[in-house]
Amino acid sequence: MKSSMRGKIFKGKKILITRPEEKSRDFSIQLKALGARPLVFPLTKIVSPKSFRAMDRSLRRWEEFDIVIFTSALAVQFFLSRAKDLSLRLSHPKILYAIGPQTKQALQAAGFLKVKMPREFRAEGLLKELKKVKGLKILIPRAKEAREILPQTLRKRGAHVQVPAAYQVVPQKKYLLRLERMSEKDFDAVVFASARSVKEFVKALGVLKSRKLFSKVAAVCIGSVTGEALRSFGIKGVQSESPDPAGLIAALKKVLELDVAE
């Protein structure tokens, strides 16, 4: 009986997942197996940039860069896909950085085997390592809208930095409209995977209503930047130690205060 109870630790819990459906599939399956009722609500979607001009220019000048930095696996995917569209074969750059293991794996899967990765998986961690960059040409393909601390700091240190938009994140209006009609009775926890999803969530409900909601509903986030976005609106959440389903499930146990014996 105890084993059966442990198997359904989230029995009846309604968990809102703000990630895209394809990235939430495995997580949703595991939540269902644990008795939860996952609700996939992708508040944003990833699309190509409105113009490829800046990215194409960077691709054609690829060999001129001393350092190339990818901040996400999505940036790798879109950037290399565009290179393929242009029939460009990219040699290994002088120095190649990836922020986070998933980004590193995406680069290695594409054949870039010598990839450096900072210990801290965020811009601040990389900046600790890139102190002497004066005169260097640095390329950072990334989302159209992102934190400016990395390129701004590198420029202040004397680097020549290009930041082409590899993709853009846009709101999913149909889900945001549905969210506006929901209340704390409709879910027990919300899982955020990006700062942008946090901002869209709060924008849809309003700051005061969001704070009131999260005084009763648990919040789990992936990554410190997403956690900072929650805190900027006065919302407390638990950060997952890893972005995979196991890490998220552990965070949900903690934030829902489930004491489950092994």
What's residue 225's pLDDT? 85
Order of strands across the sheet that contains 218-222? 37-40, 14-17, 189-192, 218-222, 238-240
Our count of domains for the chain comes to 2
Whether 261 is in a domain gets the answer no
Q: Residues 89, 63: one domain?
A: yes
What's residue 2's pLDDT? 39
Q: Which of 149, 169, 189 is the last residue of a domain?
A: 169
The alpha carbon of residue 201 and the mean position of all alpha carbons in its chain are separated, in whole angstroms, by 15
**Whether residue 17 has pLDDT greater than 60:** yes
**Whether residue 5 has pLDDT greater than 80:** no
Q: Residues 39, 58: one domain?
A: no
Threshold 0.75, pTM exceeds: yes
What's residue 185's pLDDT? 87
Whether 76 is in a domain gets the answer yes
Q: Residues 163, 186: one domain?
A: no
Q: Which of 169, 203, 235 is the last residue of a domain?
A: 169
Residue 127's domain comprises 47-169
CA distance 200 to 233: 12
Q: Residues 20, 89: one domain?
A: no
Whether 164 is in a domain gets the answer yes
Q: Residues 21, 52: one domain?
A: no
Whether 262 is in a domain gets the answer no
E-strand ranges in 49-164 read 67-70, 95-98, 137-139, 142-143, 160-162
| Backbone phi and psi for residue 44, each to the nearest 5 degrees, phi listed first | -135, 165
- Strand duo 160-162 + 37-40: pairing: unpaired
Q: What's at 191, amino acid-wise? A: V
Q: Residues 51, 91: one domain?
A: yes
Q: Residues 53, 161: one domain?
A: yes
Q: Residues 27, 141: one domain?
A: no
What's residue 150's pLDDT? 95
Q: Which of 110, 140, 169 is the last residue of a domain?
A: 169
Q: Residues 179, 240: one domain?
A: yes
pLDDT in tens, 118-174: 988 889 999 999 989 999 999 999 999 888 999 999 999 999 999 999 999 889 999
The mean pLDDT of the chain is 89
Residues whose CB falls within 8 Å of the CB of residue 150, separated by 6 or more in sequence, listed in order: 69, 71, 123, 126, 127, 140
CA distance 31 to 35: 6
Q: Residues 180, 229: one domain?
A: yes
Whether 193 is in a domain gets the answer yes
pLDDT in tens, 218-250: 999 988 889 999 999 999 989 888 777 888 888
CA distance 155 to 81: 28
CATH number of 183's domain: 3.40.50.10090
Q: Residues 165, 59: one domain?
A: yes
Whether 153 is in a domain gets the answer yes
What is the mean pLDDT of the segment spanning 190-213?
92
**Whether residue 98 has pLDDT greater than 80:** yes
Q: Residues 96, 141: one domain?
A: yes
